Structure 1
Amino acid sequence: MTDKKQAKDCADMLQAIAEPNRIRIIECLRTGSMNVTQLAKALSVEIVNVSHHLGVLRTAGLVQDEKNGRFVVYSLHPKIFNNDNNKATHLDLGWCRIEIPHN
């Protein structure tokens, strides 16, 4: 049986993912780190909207950020997505997994 904290953490992550642009951001970050401008261009979404969605994903522990010169780059958190040799086929949310197809 899953403990309450683990269930809450998983529910919080699922809630954060449950938005089309956030799913698209996760898809973009599967291939590697990107900054907000790169994501906005790839998704044809305003920078301010991408920043908002990244904040939600970061708060939920799904993405991490790192300062790289003048830019902040974002990547999927390794605890939920391990992209060794592009073989990862799922997001691991602890209590549940979300299968994701390779393109």
Structure 2
Amino acid sequence: MPSRTLKRSFDCLSAMRALGEPTRLRLVRQFIDGPKAVTELCESLHVTPYNVSKHLRVLKEAGLLEVEKNGQQRIYSLAAAFREKLSRNSHTLDLGCCQFDFDKLPE
């Protein structure tokens, strides 16, 4: 039986829960510039692979990230439904009920 790819709709409440942690906000900020591997994220954020993976799982389960396997690496990127919520300059996330300006968030 062929597998069907379902386009996941965006859930504002799940997004807000996932983004309610500073490290996850820092991770999302990294993805604004494009897809990243776990090792790249660890180096740029100075966070252990265990912690990065834990936060990536939360973001993925909330529908904010997509993952692609490339050999032994996993490459993460912003999910299409999540990218649609970013402004044209890609630095402001508009959830309707609130906005996150990634340029104004603490490092």
RMSD between aligned residues: 2.3
Query: Hey, what does 2:5 align to over in structure 1?
Result: none
In structure 2, the gaps of 5 or more residues are: 1-8
- What pairs with 1:54-73 in structure 2 (closer than 5 Å)? 54-73=56-75
SS in structure 1 of the partner of residue 23 of structure 2: helix
CA distance in 2, matches of 1:47, 1:88: 26
Q: 1:89 to 1:27 in 2, by over 3 A?
A: closer
Say which structure is richer in helix: 1
Give the match for residue 42 of structure 2. 40
- TM-score, normalising length from structure 1? 0.76
Normalised to the residue count of structure 2, the TM-score between the two structures is 0.74
> Which residue of structure 2 aligns with residue 25 of structure 1?
27
Q: Is the 8 A contact 2:32 2:91 kept in 1?
A: no
Paired-residue identity, %? 38
Partner of 1:3: none
CA-CA distance at 1:94 after TM superposition: 6.4
1:98 maps onto 2:100 in alignment: yes
- Superposed, 1:6-17 pairs within 5 Å as 9-17=11-19
Q: Relative to structure 2, which stretch is displaced further, 48-57 or 29-38? A: 29-38
Deviation at 1:80, TM superposition (A): 1.4
Which ranges of structure 1 fall in alignment gaps of 5 or more residues? 1-5
1:76 alignment partner, one of 60, 75, 78 = 78
In the TM superposition, residue 18 of structure 1 has moved relative to its aligned partner by 0.6
CA drift of 1:69 comes to: 2.1
